[in-house]
Amino acid sequence: MTPDQTPDSDQGRYTITEAAVRLGISREALRLRIRRGKVLSAKSGGVWYVYLPADTRADSTPDMTPDSDQGALMAQLHGDLAEARGEIGRLWEELQTRRLENERKDAIILALSQRPALPEPRTETVIEMPDTPQPPASTPARRGWLSRLLGR
């Protein structure tokens, strides 16, 4: 409680739990109101107390009279609900499609893993050719035409 805030004589002092029940809100909501300075409170002996008018009571019977704002809100909520259900249906179908795709892929992977291995590729021996051509060693020397004519 700040110096400019003082409880009135007609205000009662309640613990956070008691005040939350009287206001009809949760204890966390009341703590947030205390932090924001919306509710007069003070700490005494390690316990937080809230100062409320003595006639403060929770509204136990909420107003259930429909008005135009509630009707529009309900229509909006029904539209949102229908849209959300449509989206859920679309996502469910997509999930089923993905599940079938995964099962098909798993079957393909299983079939490929159970296939016998391919034989090793053949390796051919490469013969290196020398840079300069060598004449064959066993070929007879050629004789000229005059030597053949004279028989030499």
Render pLDDT for 49-76 as a digit per residue (tens, 0 to 9): 999 887 777 554 444 455 557 788 888 8
pLDDT (average), residues 90-98: 96
45 Ramachandran zone, left/alpha/beta (phi>0; psi -120 to 50): left
**Placement of tokens 């509204």 in the chain:** 59
Position with higher pLDDT, 60 vs 102: 102
Whether 106 shows a pLDDT value over 90: the answer reads yes
Q: Is the pTM of this model over 0.75?
A: no
- pLDDT higher than threshold 90 for residue 136: no
In contact, 96 and 63? CB cutoff 8 Å = no
Closest CA relative to residue 79, chosen from 68, 67, 71: 71
pLDDT for res 73: 85
Per-residue pLDDT, 4: 47
Task: Out of 62-66, 94-98, 115-119, pick the least confident.
Answer: 62-66
Has residue 93 got a pLDDT over 70?
A: yes
Q: How far is CA 113 from the centre of its chain?
A: 32
Answer for the pair 52, 23: CB distance below 8 angstroms, yes or no: yes
Length of the chain, in residues: 152
**Residue 129 pLDDT level (bands cut at 50, 70, 90):** low
